[in-house]
Amino acid sequence: MTNQSSKESVPKIVCLHLNECDRKKCTALKLKKFGILEIVSDIKGKYRSSVILNPLSKKTINVNDRTIIENYGLMVVDCSWKKIFNLKTLNLHNSRKLPSLIASNPVNYGKWEKLSSAEALAAALYITNYSEYADLILSKFSWGAEFKRINNL
């Protein structure tokens, strides 16, 4: 993957998967099948310093977080939206929320901020200038281009 100015690095993408979803509809598990992300069962060790997408974080992800992603990776937490408030305990240094975005996935289409793991990862990657890798993620879903279009990414 290359961009116009230089070779775009491939970020390490991981998912803390809490097994609360319909496995047939889980975007994180689909991305794992394509070798795009690694599933982990906790945040200990080498991923503790990664940028962790957490909608309850006080900090919003921005382009300056790219350095953290380059060094430690990007993590999404895959859990049920019904249990999202359990993430309050994830008060980690590099916890980040996304700006308000509209979901295009079939489960939550048109809803503000109810993104799938794939949508959240793609948005974070666009924001941190990993556009080609974000495009790759969205290309795995029939609704991926719609997510980019309706959010002007």
Burial class (CB in 10 A: 0-12, 13-18, 19+), 86: middle
Instruction: List, for residues 52-111, the tens digit of each pLDDT value.
Output: 998 888 899 999 999 999 999 999 988 766 556 555 555 568 999 999 999 999 999 999
Instruction: List, for residues 98-112, the tens digit of each pLDDT value.
Output: 999 999 999 999 999
Q: How far is CA 114 from CA 13, 24, 48, 84, 138, in A?
A: 20, 18, 24, 10, 16
Half-sphere exposure of 65 (CA within 13 A, CB side): 26
Contact by Cβ (8 Å): 61, 39: no
Q: What is the pLDDT confidence band of residue 2, given thresholds at 50, 70 and 90?
A: very low
Region for residue 14 given its phi and psi (left: phi exceeds 0; alpha: psi -120 to 50; beta: otherwise): beta
Instruction: List, for residues 20-32, the tens digit of each pLDDT value.
Output: 777 788 999 999 9
